[in-house]
Amino acid sequence: MTTTRGLEGVVATTSAISSIKDDVLTYRGYSIQDLAEQSTFEETIYLLWNGELPTADQLQAFKAELAENASVPNELFEFMKNYPLETVHPMAVLRTAISTLGIYDPDAELMDKQSNKEKAIKLQAKIATLVAGFARIRQGLQPVVPNKSLSYAANFLYMLKDRVPSEVEAQMFDKALVLHADHELNASTFTARVCVATLSDMYSGITSAIGALKGPLHGGANEQVMRMLERIGSIEWVDDYILNALENKKKIMGFGHRVYKNGDPRAKILKTMARTLSEMSGDSRLYDMSLKIEILMKEKKGLLPNTDFYSATLYHILGIDHDLFTPVFAISRTSGWAAHILEQYNDNRLIRPRAEYNGPRLRRVTPMAQR
Active site residues: 257, 308
Give Cα separations from 147 to 98, 129, 190, 231 (angstroms): 21, 10, 33, 37
Number of H helices, E strands in the chain: 16, 3
How would you classify residue 304: left for phi > 0, otherwise alpha for psi between -120 and 50, otherwise beta? beta
Task: Give dist(CA 229, CA 232) in Å, integer.
Answer: 5
> What secondary structure does DSSP assign to 92-127, as a single string?
HHHHHHHHHHHHT-TTTT--SHHHHHHHHHHHHHHH
d(C-alpha 149, C-alpha 137), whole Å: 24
Rg (CA), the chain: 22
**How far are the Cα atoms of 134, 158, 215, 238, 244 from residue 235, in angstroms, in the given order?**
33, 32, 28, 5, 15
